[in-house]
Amino acid sequence: MEFLKRSAIALSLITLALGTQAQVEKPSDNPAADLPQLGNTGTLVTSLEEEYTLGKQIVRQFRGQAPLVSDPLVIDYMNSLAFYILRHSEVEDRRITLLVFDLPVINAFAAPGGIIGMYSGMIQFMENEGQIASILAHEFAHLSQRHYARNVEYNASRTWRNLLLGLGSVLVAVSSSGDTGIAALTAAASTIAADRLSFSRENEREADQIGSQTLINAKIDPDHVAQAFEQMQKANNDAPPEYLLTHPLPTSRVNEARLRARQSESFPARDDLGFQIIRARLQLASSGPQAKRDGLFANWRELSPNSNRYAAAYARALLLAELGEAEEARRLIRWVRKRVPDRISVLYAEAEVEVLLNKPERALALLKSALDRNPRNLPLLWLNARAHKIAEDATAALRTLELMAHIDPTQIHVWYQLAELHGLAGNIAQVHKSRAEFFYLTGRDQQALDHLEYALELARHNFTEAERIRERMQEISGEGGVRRRRGG
Ligand SMILES: [Zn+2]
C-alpha cells in the first residue's frame, strides 16, 4: 500500500519535472524538428559539443536532485580510478563528470555529455577494484560508441533532451522518498529509468567487448567483467539489482566475457587497499546505530587477505573513535598506519580519529605534515577545515575552504560550508556569493542570481567587486538560459 502510494508520488514527480522543463525548453510542436536528419552519411543527430553543453546543465540538475556522497576520500578515489580507466578507453571527449550518488542502489549509468553516474550501493556491493573498474569501463564504452546518439528510440520518438531530463526526474523521485521504502521506490523508479536508458543487446555486447579491451589497456585482468556479472547475479534474491534492469544479463554475456579473458594475456593482481578502504568507509557511513553497536568490523582479525583486514581495522578505528573509545581507536589506526605508512587515506584516518574524539589540535598537527607534502590534496584540506572549525578558528577554516573552492569549484559541500562559516564570521556579502555558487551548481540558477543581486547591493561602493559580481551574473544567466523574472 505504502509502496503504491510512493510510486504514485514518484510518477507525479516525474511528470512534474518533465512539465516544468518543457516550459523552460519550449519544445516545438514536432519534437523531431529540433533534430537534424539522420542521413546515410552516418552523421549522428547531436554533436559531442552539443551533448557536452547540455550535459553540464544536466549534471547541475543531478546535483540538486539526488544525494551525493560527501566523503572526500570516496570522491577522490572514484575520480582517480575513473580517470585512469578513461585514459585507456576510446572516449574521445575526455571532459567527463563522475557523480557518486549516496543511495543504496546497485546501479551505474552513462549519459550523453560525459556523465557517469555511480551509486554507493554498487561500490559497496563489488568485491574488488577490478570489478568496479569493469563497470566503469563498460559505461565508458557506451559513451565512446555513442550508443545514445545511435539509438533509434532516442532519435525518433523523443528528443534526447527529454530523455536526459527524464533521467534526472527519476532521481528526484528516488531522493525525495526518505528512508523508508526507498528500495521499493527505487525499484519502481528504476523500471522507468530502464525504459529510458536501455540499449539494444548489440549495444550491450559491444560495450562488454570494448570495456574488456579498455581493462586490458589499463593492465587490469579482463576476467573482472565476468566476476562483476557473477557478483550481480548473487544479489538476485528478492529483486534483481537495478543495474540488471538496464543491463539484462543472459548467460552468453558472462560466458563471452570469460572467454575474452582467457584469450587475453594475464596481469598481476592489483593493490586493492584503496578500494577496500573506501568500501569500508561507505559501509560504516550507511549502517545505522544498531548495526554499529552490534560490532561492525569487530572480526577484522579473522579477515584475509591483508587489504581486507587493514580496511576493516581502519573502519573499526573510526567506529571506536565515534563511540569515544579513544585509546583503542588510536591503537588500531596506528596498527594500520605502521603496515601501510605512506597512504594518504590512512594518514587522513589517523587525523580523523582525533577529529571524532574532539581533539582538533592533535588532528591539525597530524595533518600539517601530510599537507606539507601534499598541499593541494582535497581530502586533507577538507579535514583540515573541519578540524579548524571544531577548534573554533573560523578564519583558518575559511582560508582552507577558499583554497579548495579555487582548486575545484564544483564541490557543492565546500560552498555549503563556506556559506555557513562566512555567516558565523559575519561576512554577509560572502555568504550570498557562496550560496550563489551552491545554487548554481545544483541547477537553481534563479536563486543563484538572487543571491548575487544581494551581494551586488552590498558591494555598491566597491567598483571592482561589483564588476566581478556582474560578470558572474552574466555567466550564469548566459549558460543556464534562465530568463530573468520580469516585474515583481
Ligand atoms: Zn550497458
Q: 138-174 pLDDT, tens per residue?
A: 999 999 988 877 665 555 545 556 666 565 555 555 5
68 with 102: CB under 8 angstroms?
yes
| 428 — pLDDT class (breaks 50, 70, 90) | very high
Q: What is the DSSP letter of 371?
A: H
Instruction: Inform me whether the pLDDT recorded for 115 exceeds 80.
Output: yes
208 and 307 inside one domain: no
Would residue 435 count as lying in a domain? Answer: yes
Domain contains 363: no
Give the residue from 358, 385, 418 where a domain finishes.
Answer: 358
Place of cell 581533539: 359
24 has pLDDT over 60 = no
* Low-confidence winner among 182-191, 265-274, 297-306 (lowest mean pLDDT): 182-191
Higher pLDDT, 145 or 42: 145
Task: Tell me the residues surrounding ligand 1 (ion) with CB < 5 Å.
Answer: 204, 207, 247
Strand partners, 97: 115
Whether residues 85 and 118 fall in one domain: yes
109 forms beta bridges with 117
In a domain, 335, yes or no: yes
| Chain centre to alpha carbon of residue 472 | 26
Write down how long the chain is. 488
Pair 310, 162 in one domain: no
Q: Is the pLDDT of residue 39 over 50?
A: no
Q: How far apart are CA 353 and CA 202, in angstroms?
A: 50
Q: Among positive and negative, which fits the CA dihedral 20, 21, 24, 28?
A: negative
How far does residue 242's CA lie from ligand 1's centre (Å)?
A: 12
> Residue 146's pLDDT is what?
83
CA of 102 to the centre of ligand 1 (A): 21
Band (6; pLDDT cuts 50, 70, 90): very low
> Distance between CA atoms of 412 and 99, rounded to whole angstroms?
12
> Does residue 209 sit in the same domain as residue 342?
no
Same domain, yes or no: 309 and 445: no
Taking the C-alpha atoms of residue 71 and residue 91, their distance in angstroms, rounded to an integer, is 28
pLDDT at 93 over 50: yes
pLDDT at 168: 57
Tell whether 13 and 159 lie within a shared domain: yes
Per-residue pLDDT at 431 exceeds 80: yes
Residues 172 and 23 occupy one common structural domain: yes
- At which of 206, 237, 263 does a domain end? 263
User: How many independent structural domains does the chain possess?
Assistant: 3
Q: How many CB atoms lie within 10 A of CB 52?
A: 18
Ligand 1 centroid to residue 51 C-alpha, Å:
19
CA of 7 to the centre of ligand 1 (A): 25
Q: Which three cell numbers stand for residue 303?
A: 579477515
Q: At what angle do helices 306-322 and 326-339 cross, to 10 degrees?
A: 150
* Interval between CA 204 and ligand 1 midpoint (Å): 5
Q: Are residues 55 and 149 in the same domain?
A: yes
- In terms of residue numbers, what domain contains 280? 271-358
CA of 246 to the centre of ligand 1 (A): 7
CB 309 within 8 A of CB 303: yes
Measured in Å, residue 135 CA sits from the centre of ligand 1 at: 9
**Structural domain includes residue 183:** yes
User: What is the β-pairing status of strands 115-119 and 108-111?
Assistant: antiparallel
Which of 220, 241, 263 finishes a domain? Answer: 263
Q: Mean pLDDT, to the nearest integer, of 57-61? A: 83
452-472 pLDDT, tens digit each: 999 999 999 999 999 999 999
Tell me the mean pLDDT in the region 68-93: 96
Does residue 76 contact residue 98 with C-beta atoms inside 8 Å? Answer: no
d(C-alpha 314, C-alpha 438), whole Å: 32
Cα-to-centroid distance, 247 and ligand 1 (Å) = 5
Q: Are residues 240 and 310 in the same domain?
A: no
Is residue 371, in this structure, part of any structural domain at all? no
Backbone angles phi, psi at 115, to 5 degrees: -95, 130
- Distance of CA 140 from the midpoint of ligand 1 (Å): 9
pLDDT at 193: 53
Candidate ranges 23-27, 195-199, 337-341; pick with highest mean pLDDT: 337-341
Which residues does residue 118 pair with via DSSP β-bridges, in sequence order? 100, 108
Q: For residue 43, is pLDDT > 90?
A: no
Q: Do residue 69 and residue 192 come from a single domain?
A: yes
Distance between Cα 123 and ligand 1 center (Å): 17
8 Å CB contact between 388 and 425: no
104 in a structural domain: yes
In a domain, 251, yes or no: yes
Residues 229, 157 within the same domain: yes
Confidence of residue 241 (pLDDT cuts 50, 70, 90): confident
If asked whether residues 94 and 186 sit together in one domain, one would say yes
Cα–Cα distance for residue pair 75/108, rounded to 1 Å: 15
Between the CA of 488 and the centroid of ligand 1 the distance, in Å, is: 48
Indicate whether 64 belongs to any domain. Answer: yes
What pLDDT score was predicted for residue 45?
Answer: 60
Q: Is 325 exposed, middle or buried (CB count within 10 Å of its CB: 0-12, 13-18, 19+)? A: middle
Distance 248 CA to ligand 1 centre (A): 9
C-alpha 132 – ligand 1 centre gap (Å) = 14
Q: What is the pLDDT of residue 195?
A: 55
* Per-residue pLDDT reduced to its tens digit, 278-321: 999 999 999 888 877 778 888 888 988 888 999 999 999 999 99
Lowest mean pLDDT among 107-111, 221-225, 411-415: 107-111
